[in-house]
């Protein structure tokens, strides 16, 4: 039985690998490199290997998304940076024609300025390196003025091939990538929240591994923000708000777990607060599930306001009965923290449902 389960798991993992975005991107990278190699050899380009290297570099640099937008941006950056570097290198060679001692100082200066310029203008990423390559090449053999043009052409060829491959083979737009990740992260948040429910029933906080899973997902969601600039305004607004809410959800999940470990025993008694807390957890779970599997969402929204009012009333009743007088500082803090986190979770899931309903048939379909 165990062997059969292990075999089934291995088979499923292999199928996931075969249809994974990562494998598709690896194949696309290889295709772009081979096309450049064939053109390089067929047309006997003197330095055609730059086209091959550029195609690989552009495709590899877009491995995180594989989208047309990121491929286009990196292609332009490599071309622009190479042309600027070629002009600088050629100008220094023609105007100064540096000897060995001068070349050492010039190379040092170009690398420093090239790396520094990258922080200000990413398009200049290759400018300093290209200028240095041209100067070093000029020191070994005579260099025609066409070298800079040929170098730029080879870079352009590699960038164009990478762009064409991205557009024609398993093409993906940035908003499609971000939307897929949005749903994937929501599924992971749902899984974590279901662990919170189990922890609440068992009166214990997250384990170290579960805490690490929350932290890793927080970093992953926060990292998606770097791709937002490629989106249209409406899509950007939806994803940006969703990322912010996902981060807040994760932080509140973490807060709830920490609070569970310090809750007083009487919190788990058969009281209105205990009953409504369980009801809130069930509703949040239902709301997250509806978002992930794309179930009808409108019927849920009315229940959120009603449950929120019931929770506030039950908490005030719990506090009015002076339970806090018999608690330690840690227990009081846990009860209040749990209350704040639960109410924020209700509001956040409600907001996510509203935005998800708005964009159900919108620009992401």
Residue 6 buriedness (CB in 10 A; 0-12 / 13-18 / 19+): exposed
42-46, 66-70, 224-228, 314-318: lowest mean pLDDT where? 66-70
Q: Which two tokens stand for residue 327?
A: 């608690």
Task: Flag the least confident range among 175-189, 224-238, 274-288, 345-359.
Answer: 224-238
Is pLDDT larger for residue 46 or for residue 29?
A: 29
Which of 108, 131, 128 shows the shortest CA–CA distance to 117? 128
For residue 176, the tally of other CB atoms under 10 A from its CB is 14
* 48 φ/ψ angles, rounded to the nearest 5 degrees: -65, -15
Under a CB-based contact definition with an 8 Å cutoff, are residues 113 and 186 in contact? no
Q: Mean pLDDT throughout 315-321?
A: 83
- Overall size of the chain counted in residues: 365
Give the angle 167-51-148 at the CA atoms, nearest 5°. Answer: 125
pLDDT digits (tens, 9 = 90+) for 131-146: 887 777 665 555 555 6
Query: Which span out of 15-19, 32-36, 84-88, 265-269 was modeled with the highest average pLDDT?
Result: 32-36
Distance CA 149, CA 86 (A): 8
Whether residue 291 contacts residue 184, with contact meaning beta carbons closer than 8 Å, is answered with: no
pLDDT of residue 16: 61
* Beta carbons within 10 angstroms of residue 188's beta carbon: 19
Residue 52 CB contacts under 8 Å (≥ 6 apart), including other chains: 33, 36, 37, 40, 158
Judged against a pLDDT cut of 50, whether residue 9 lies above it is answered with no
**pLDDT above 50 (res 1):** no
Q: At residue 92, does pLDDT exceed 90?
A: no
> Among all chains, which residue has been given the structure tokens 């994803």?
239
- Is the pLDDT higher at 224 or at 65? 224
Give the pair of three-digit tokens for residue 172.
Answer: 């993906």
Long-range contacts of residues 292-297, Cβ cutoff 8 Å, at least 24 apart:
292/183, 292/186, 292/187, 292/190, 294/360, 297/353, 297/356, 297/357, 297/360
> Residue 162's pLDDT is what?
82
How far, in Å, CA of 217 to CA of 223, rounded?
A: 10
What share of the chain has pLDDT > 70, as a percent?
81
DSSP-assigned states of every residue in 33-57: HHHHHHHHHHTT-TTTHHHHHHHHH
Query: Is pLDDT of 181 > 90?
Result: no
CA distances from 92 to 96, 229, 278, 310 (A): 5, 36, 73, 76
**Does the pLDDT at position 60 exceed 50?**
yes
The predicted model gives 148-159 an average pLDDT of 75
Q: pLDDT (tens digit, 9 = 90+) per residue, 186-211?
A: 999 999 999 999 999 888 888 889 99
CA distances from 211 to 66, 98, 348 (A): 30, 58, 21
């Amino acid at each position: 039985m165990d062997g059969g389960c292990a075999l089934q798991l291995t088979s499923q993992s292999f199928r996931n690998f075969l249809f994974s975005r990562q494998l598709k991107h690896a194949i696309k990278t290889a295709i772009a490199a081979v096309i450049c190699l064939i053109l390089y050899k067929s047309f006997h380009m003197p330095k055609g290997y730059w086209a091959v290297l550029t195609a690989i570099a552009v495709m590899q640099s877009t491995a995180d998304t594989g989208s047309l937008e990121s491929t286009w941006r990196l292609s332009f950056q490599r071309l622009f940076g190479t042309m600027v570097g070629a002009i600088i290198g050629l100008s220094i060679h023609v105007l100064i024609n540096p000897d060995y001692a001068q070349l050492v100082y010039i190379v040092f200066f170009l690398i420093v300025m090239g790396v520094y310029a990258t922080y200000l203008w990413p398009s200049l990423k290759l400018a300093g390196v290209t200028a240095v390559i041209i100067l070093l090449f000029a020191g070994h053999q005579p260099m025609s003025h066409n070298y800079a043009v040929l170098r730029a052409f080879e870079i352009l060829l590699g960038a164009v091939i990478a762009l064409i491959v991205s557009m024609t083979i398993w093409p993906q737009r940035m908003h499609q990538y971000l939307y897929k990740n949005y749903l994937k992260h929501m599924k992971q948040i749902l899984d974590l929240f279901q662990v919170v429910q189990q922890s609440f029933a068992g009166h214990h906080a997250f384990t170290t591994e579960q805490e690490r899973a929350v932290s890793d997902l927080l970093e992953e969601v926060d990292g998606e923000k770097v791709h937002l600039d490629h989106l249209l305004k409406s899509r950007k607004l939806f994803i940006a708000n969703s990322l912010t809410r996902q981060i807040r959800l994760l932080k509140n999940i973490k807060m709830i777990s920490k609070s569970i470990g310090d809750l007083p025993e009487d919190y788990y008694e058969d009281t209105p607060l205990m009953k409504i807390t369980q009801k809130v957890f069930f509703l949040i779970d239902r709301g997250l599930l509806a978002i992930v599997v794309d179930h009808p969402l409108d019927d849920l929204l009315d229940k959120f306001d009603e449950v929120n009012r019931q929770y506030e009333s039950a908490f005030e009743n719990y506090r009015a009965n002076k339970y806090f007088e018999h608690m330690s500082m840690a227990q009081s803090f846990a009860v209040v923290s749990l209350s704040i986190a639960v109410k924020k979770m209700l509001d956040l899931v409600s907001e996510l449902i509203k935005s998800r309903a708005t964009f159900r048939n919108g620009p992401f379909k």
